[in-house]
Amino acid sequence: MATLSQSEFKALIEQPPGPSLSLYMPTYRKGAEVQQNPIQLRNLLREAEQKFLARGLRHPDVASLLEPTEALLTRPIFWEHPEAGLAVFLAPKVFKAYPLPLPLEKLVVVADRFHIKPLLPLFMADGQFYLLTLSQNTVRLFQGTRFSVQEVALKDIPTSLAEAMRYTVAEKQVQFHTATQAPGGQGGRRQALFFGDGGERGQEKTNLLEFFQQVDEGLRRHKLREARWPLVLAGVEYLLPLYREVSTYANILPEGIPGNPDHLSAQTLHARAWKIVEPIFQSAQQGALEHYSELAGSGSPQASSDLKTILTAAYVGRVHVLWVARDQIQWGTFKPETTQTYFHQAPEASSIDLLDLAVAYTVLNGGAAYAVELEQVPDHHLAAAVFRY
């Protein structure tokens, strides 16, 4: 079962053109109703089959394409721990099924690219953060959204004070032996420093700072994908300022989660972290909306609610912030070579959702995208955008 990470999300956007199925459905999580989940999927697959056939695909090709998803219907283990929704993506040689902590509406889209707009709430610019738990026994890093957190595997990073001190002692022993080989070796012996001896408060702080320096260096090597994301620290109160003292991460939030995090579940940590970051994200989006209103009110060309203009700007990387109506679809085609846009009153064989395409271009070019209710889009249009220039 695949996990939908930021990199997986972008991989869906970058999938080469070809016959593609994007299927979304809500799922029951408990009670006798959970038995309806595979039945619901079977019905949606029949709808997908008809849409593929309407696009001119042959029955054997459609059956082959749908086969991996058909197999899910007879895999009871897949349905044992459902989330709030299920998203399935199919293309030649591509099969992804993502249980998601996101309530989803039923939707079947057959086109030449994957339809990703319903996923956007998981990856909105105003909803992604890091959570770092710190104790002398355990270090854990999580990537979070408004809906969930996922733990990040840490490689080559000490995850406890004892482990960090083993590294430090080994390094100091090398320095010690090297120094005692040189002339004036007695002086070299005095330069050797071993952490953890004596138990004095000053030595304990030195040990912790060394530990946190190693953690910070490891995280920098880990190359956190989005260095602008807020970072929430969780740990007993005297540890958090020590980590801030040595950390090179640019966006550590001043408020943290106090207390020993070792025995807190990911769900509990997520709930406490979200209370800290939610006001920050709300403020950022409100600022973007106010900026749009100022630009649009002055007639500036840096703001637009014209979808054709927005698509062209998104394609060339000009869109800084984009809003689209998440429950609307505008069928049509976009020709990148000429940047011409054509609207379709009803879906045709070549149709794609142009709102979805605007989201894809914006995300790939580093812009911020929001999928909101129609009445929350500036000017109540299908889309609105602020341009970089």
Which of 1-5, 304-308, 366-370 has maximum average pLDDT? 304-308
pLDDT band at 174 (very low <50, low <70, confident <90, very high): very low
Q: CB-based contacts of 107: which residues, under 8 Å, 6+ apart?
A: 22, 23, 24, 25, 115, 118
In CATH, the architecture of 6-115 is 2-Layer Sandwich (3.30)
The whole-angstrom separation of Cα 295 and Cα 289 is 10
Residue 232 confidence (pLDDT) above 80: yes
Q: Which among 154, 264, 139, 131 is positioned nearest to 211, based on CA atoms?
A: 139
The domain 301-387 is placed in CATH, from the list 3.40.50, 3.20.20, 3.30.70, 3.30.1330, at: 3.30.1330
Indicate the pLDDT class of residue 184, thresholds 50, 70 and 90.
very low
- Cβ proximity of 208 and 239 under 8 Å: yes
Of the two residues 280 and 179, the one the predictor is more confident about is: 280
Is the confidence at residue 266, as pLDDT, over 80? Answer: yes
Q: What is the mean pLDDT of residues 328-336?
A: 95
pLDDT at 185 over 50: no
Mean pLDDT of 287-306: 95
Q: Where are the chain's structural domains?
A: 6-115, 129-280, 301-387
| Residue 189 pLDDT | 39
- Let me know: does 197 contact 147? Beta carbons within 8 Å: no
Higher pLDDT, 180 or 109: 109
pLDDT at residue 192 in the model: 38
Q: Quick one: what percent of the chain has pLDDT higher than 90?
A: 63
Dump pLDDT digits (tens) for 63-102.
999 999 999 998 888 888 888 899 999 999 999 999 998 8
Give pLDDT tens digits for 113-142: 999 999 988 877 567 899 999 999 999 999
Decide: 87 and 119 in contact? Cβ < 8 Å.
Answer: yes
Report pLDDT for 179. 45
The answer to whether domain 6-115 and domain 301-387 are alike in fold is no
Quick one: pLDDT band at residue 2, thresholds 50, 70, 90? low
Closest CA relative to residue 49, chosen from 97, 110, 98, 107: 110
Torsion of CA 47, 69, 122, 227, to 10 degrees: -140
pTM recorded for the entire structure: 0.73
